[in-house]
């Protein structure tokens, strides 16, 4: 078994990657910005599955600062670089996300190269693939890149430019370091702890009745546990070196379809889920006053579908049914007091 560094181990995807690695028998080191979160992280992980505490080490490192990264990667065979600035609040400026994301990924790659790490798996996003393009009828693939010259949100711009910087670094200065990138669509699934992942915000607000009518767009979704599984496959499979992999369960879903699944599966517990979809023109008008709706302006009236055929073909990856994931997401949120 190998020693693996996971950056951002307290995050939604990062914590599931840590758990999956421990379950597979690996020794894991993970970075956190605040060491005071270590007891909570260990508690979440132990509640989900048994493991030997000696196989998990938690160290402090911050993407925005150089300190700690050489020690974090020392002795590691692989790195899962999951950590990235996230959209918990609407940023005032693109540079709030773009600079730290781009500089952070290069910082991690440089430390990994210098430590003799074999391969880094970068957690990118669909936001680096399918944003800023004209309408299309075919699903997005790994050959597509988000158009950063278009009028796009800061988060998608940051993920795209960070991934571009990663590939450029490996080409110019990698010195044999291998890179693979995983591109999840909207990530759902059960919580390991009482965190508030931005990707669960839609389901949370539907359950709470804070979405009186559904915004008109469709996109893909995938289970966080399947995202972690794809990271592990991309870490060790020779076919993954130098490749990008989209992660989506089946096909895209509209918001009103998600609401319908919640009503069908949860009954009265999802009684606040909306039953109708807003017109595009009205959603745009409401976005003038609502910054979160305004962030959706590029998606309104569109179907941002994608395909995971490449991951299925090259790595044997399979996603669980998204209806089950949506149900388990809601069950987990309700268990943590949402919607009550």
Distance in angstroms (rounded) separating the CA atoms of residues 8 and 27: 16
Distance in angstroms (rounded) separating the CA atoms of residues 249 and 148: 26
- Helices 224-236 and 12-23: crossing angle in degrees, nearest 10, is 60
Q: Are 94 and 154 spatial neighbours (Cβ–Cβ below 8 Å)?
A: yes
Residue of 221, 212, 193 whose CA lies nearest to 333: 193
Distance in angstroms (rounded) separating the CA atoms of residues 4 and 18: 9
Q: Can you tell me which residue has the tokens 């080490």?
A: 57
Q: Which of 2, 159, 272, 310 is catalytic?
A: 159
Whether the CA torsion 251, 140, 123, 300 is positive or negative: it is: negative
Q: Are 9 and 32 spatial neighbours (Cβ–Cβ below 8 Å)?
A: yes
Helix (H) or strand (E) holding 28: strand 27-32
Torsion of the alpha carbons at 146, 148, 154 and 159, rounded to the nearest 10: 50
- Could you say which DSSP state residue 4 is in? E
Whether the CA torsion 178, 198, 228, 51 is positive or negative: it is: positive
Distance in angstroms (rounded) separating the CA atoms of residues 77 and 120: 9
Kindly list the distances between the CA atom of residue 144 and the CA atoms of 133, 151, 191, in Å, as whole numbers in the listed order.
10, 17, 31
Kindly list the distances between the CA atom of residue 45 and the CA atoms of 27, 180, 193, in Å, as whole numbers in the listed order.
14, 26, 9
Pull the structure tokens for residue 48. Answer: 């989900």
If you write DSSP's letter for every residue of 57-107 in order, what string do you get? EEEE--TTS-TTHHHHHTT-SEEEE------SS--SSTHHHHHHHHHHHHH
Is residue 159 annotated as a catalytic residue, yes or no? Answer: yes
Helix (H) or strand (E) holding 180: strand 178-184
Active site residues: 159
């Amino acid at each position: 078994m190998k020693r693996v560094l996971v950056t951002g181990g307290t995050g939604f995807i990062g914590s599931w990657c840590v758990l999956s690695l421990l379950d597979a028998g690996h020794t894991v080191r993970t970075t956190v910005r605040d060491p005071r979160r270590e007891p909570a992280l260990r508690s979440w992980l132990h509640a989900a599955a048994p493991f030997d505490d000696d196989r998990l080490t938690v160290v402090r490192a911050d993407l925005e600062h150089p300190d700690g990264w050489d020690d974090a990667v020392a002795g590691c065979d692989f790195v899962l670089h999951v950590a990235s600035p996230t959209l918990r609040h609407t940023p005032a400026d693109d540079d709030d996300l773009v600079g730290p994301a781009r500089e952070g990924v290069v910082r991690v790659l440089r430390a990994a190269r210098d430590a003799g790490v074999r391969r880094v798996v970068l957690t990118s996003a669909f936001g680096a693939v399918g944003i800023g393009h004209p309408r299309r009828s075919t699903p997005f693939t790994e050959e597509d890149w988000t158009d950063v010259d278009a009028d796009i949100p800061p988060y998608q711009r940051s993920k795209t430019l960070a991934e571009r910087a990663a590939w450029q670094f490996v080409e110019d200065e990698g010195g044999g370091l291998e890179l693979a990138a995983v591109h999840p669509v909207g990530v759902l699934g059960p919580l390991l702890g009482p965190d508030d992942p931005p990707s669960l915000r839609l389901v949370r607000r539907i359950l709470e009745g804070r979405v009186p009518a559904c915004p008109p767009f469709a996109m893909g979704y995938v289970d966080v546990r399947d995202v972690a599984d794809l990271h592990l496959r991309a870490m060790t499979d020779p076919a993954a070196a130098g490749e990008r992999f989209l992660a989506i369960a089946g096909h895209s879903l509209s918001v009103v379809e998600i609401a319908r699944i919640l009503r069908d599966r949860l009954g009265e517990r999802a009684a606040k889920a909306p039953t109708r979809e807003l017109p595009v023109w009205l959603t745009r008008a409401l976005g003038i006053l609502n910054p979160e709706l305004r962030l959706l302006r590029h998606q309104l009236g569109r179907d941002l579908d994608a395909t995971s055929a490449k991951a299925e073909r090259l790595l044997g990856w399979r996603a669980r049914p998204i209806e089950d994931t949506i149900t388990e997401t809601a069950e987990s949120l309700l268990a943590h007091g949402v919607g009550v």
